[in-house]
Amino acid sequence: MTDRPSVSFAKFSTPGKGTVIVLAPQGGGLGDQASACDPEGVLARASEISGFSGKLAKSVEVLAPEGTQLDRLAAVGIGNPSQLGEQEWVKIGGAALAAGKSAGEITVVVDLKDGKIGAGDAANIALGMLLRAYRFEKYKTTSRENGNDKPAKKLKIVIQCADPSAAKKAFMRAEAVAEGVMLARDLVNEPANVLGPVEFAAKAKELEKLGASVEILTEKEMKKLGMGALLGVAQGSVRPPRLAVIEWNGGKSKERPLAFVGKGVVFDTGGISIKPAGGMEDMKGDMGGAAAVVGVMHALAARKAKVNAVGLVGLVENMPDGNAQRPGDIVTSMSGQTIEVINTDAEGRLVLADVLWYCNDRFKPQFMVDLATLTGAVMVALGHHRAGLFSNDDTLAEQLAAAGEATGEKLWRLPLGEEYDKQIDSKNADMKNSSGRLAGSVTAAQFLKRFVKDTNWAHLDVAGTAMGAPLDEVNRSWGSGFGVRLLDRLVADSYE
C-alpha cells in the first residue's frame, strides 16, 4: 500500500495556504470558522452556479480562491446533521479526501453554523480519510498519477475541531481499526505467488508485536489432530498448509473468549473440478475471510480491547496436481464425521469444518463467527452490497446485523433448517460437500452447522463483499477489508 497519511487535530485557525475542506449542511450556511476561509464568498457563488446543495458526500471546489493564498477551497456536503451516524461521518471523511485531489496537505475545518461536531465525529472523518487514501501500489515501478517514477509525497491531514484533545483520543481507537482494515486489504490484494499459506501465517505472527499470542500449526500437527478435511484440500499443492491461532487476552483471566474463524484459501483453482479460466485470477482473494480475521485481531490488539478473543485461520492452496483429491473421495474430518467430496471446488467448507471443530473443542468460546468467501450463490442472492448471515442464535445474529448497519458493512440474514440437510446427506458418507445449484449458500452454511455443536455461531458469506465490490467513498481498493469494522463494532458494542 502507499504511505499512510499522517493525521493530527488542531484548534480552529484560518489556514493561510494549501487545500482547505469545509463542511456544508444541506440547506444551511457555513459556520463562522468555515466562512473565514472564504472572505470573498467565492465558494458560495460556486455552490450556487454548480447546484451544490450540501447533499451527503457531494462536493464543490474553487481553485486559487480570490482573497486567499489557498490552492484549493472545497465544501463537502453532510446532509442533515441530525441524521448522521458513524458511517455517514466516515463517508464524509472519504469525500473530503477525494475533494482534496492530489494535495500534499489537507486541512479540514469541522465547523457548523448551528452547533458543534463531536470529537467522535471528527475522529470518524479522519477514519474515512485514511480508508479512502489506501492504495495498493507496491508493485508499480512508476506512478500512474504523476506519469513518472517520483514517489508521491506523504499526505498530511489536519482536522480543525472544537476539542482537538478529545478528538485525538477518539481517533486512537479509529486508527487501530483503520490499520486492521488496511492490513486485511493488503492481504487480499497480494498476489498468490507472494502470499502462500506459510507467508500468510508469518503475517499473522507479526501480531505478537502488539501483544497478541500467535501459534502456527504445521501439516504434521494437523495430521496428528485428524484434520482430514482441511488436509484433503491442501494435498494437491506443493505449498504446505498452516493453521494460525491468534489470541488476544485483554479481558478477565478466566473469561471465555470470543472466536473468529476465517477461510484462508490463498488461491483456489477449483482443484480437479477446475474453474473456468476467465476471472480465475480473482481467486487470489479467496482468503478474504481469513484476512478479515487477522485484521480484526490487529484492531483489537492495537486498541487494547478489554476482551478475550481468538482468531483462527485455516490456510491452504487448492491445486489440481497428481496428488490432488478427486471427486468421489471420502475424507474424515477432525470431528470424526465423514465427507464425500462431490466437487473439489467446494473446498472452503472442508477447511472451515476442521477449524471450527478445533476452535470449539480447544477454546470453548462464548460464540464463533466465521467469515468466508464461500459461495457464488450468495452473490446471486445479494449482489455485492451485503454479506449473507446465517446463525443458530438470534441474539448473535441481531448483534451482528446492528454492527453492520452502524459501520456500513451490511448483512442480510438467510435461513437454516433441517429441510436443507437432505440436500447434503450422502449415500456413501455422513455428508457430501456439494448439493448442486439450488440454495447453494444455504446448504453450505447447513454443512458448517454440523461442526459447531451447540455453541452460538454465525457464518458470514463474504464472497460478494470481500473483493471486487463496487468502489465507494471509503474504499477504492479491489480488496475491501470487509468484516474488520463490523466485528470490531460487534465486540465494542456488545462484549466490552
Neighbours of 72 (CB within 10 A): 18
In whole angstroms, give the CA distance from residue 37 to residue 65: 10
Could you tell me if 358 and 243 are in contact, meaning their C-beta atoms sit under 8 angstroms apart? yes
The catalytically annotated residue of 113, 169, 205, 275 is 275
Distances (CA, A) of 167 to 85, 88, 134, 163: 16, 17, 22, 6
Report the alpha-carbon distance of residue 136 to residue 131 in Å, rounded. Answer: 12
4-30 burial code (b ≥16 CB/10 A, e <16)? ebebebeebeebeebbbbbbbbeeeeb
Cα separation, 100 vs 390, in Å, equals: 41
d(C-alpha 299, C-alpha 165), whole Å: 22
Catalytic residue among 185, 263, 349, 485: 349
**Is-catalytic flag, 303?**
no
d(CA 478, CA 465): 10
Could you tell me the CA-to-CA distances from 417 to 27, 386, 396, 420, 472 in Å, in that order? 50, 21, 17, 6, 35
349 part of the active site: yes
Cα-based torsion angle of the residue sequence 402, 406, 407, 412 in order, rounded to the nearest 10 degrees: 40
Nine-digit cell string for 319: 491445486
- The tally of CA atoms less than 13 A away on the side-chain side of residue 274 is 11
- 8 A C-beta contact, residue 482 and residue 408: no
Which residues, 6+ apart, have CB-to-CB distance to 237 below 8 Å? 316, 317, 318, 319, 321
Half-sphere exposure of 193 (CA within 13 A, CB side): 2
- Round to whole Å and give the CA distance between 212 and 297: 8
- CA 78 vs CA 42, 356, 415, 474: distances in Å: 20, 43, 37, 15
User: Distance between CA atoms of 494 and 485, rounded to whole angstroms?
Assistant: 14
Q: Which residues, including other chains, have CB under 8 Å from residue 273's CB and lie 6 or more apart?
A: 327, 343, 344, 345
Active site residues: 275, 349
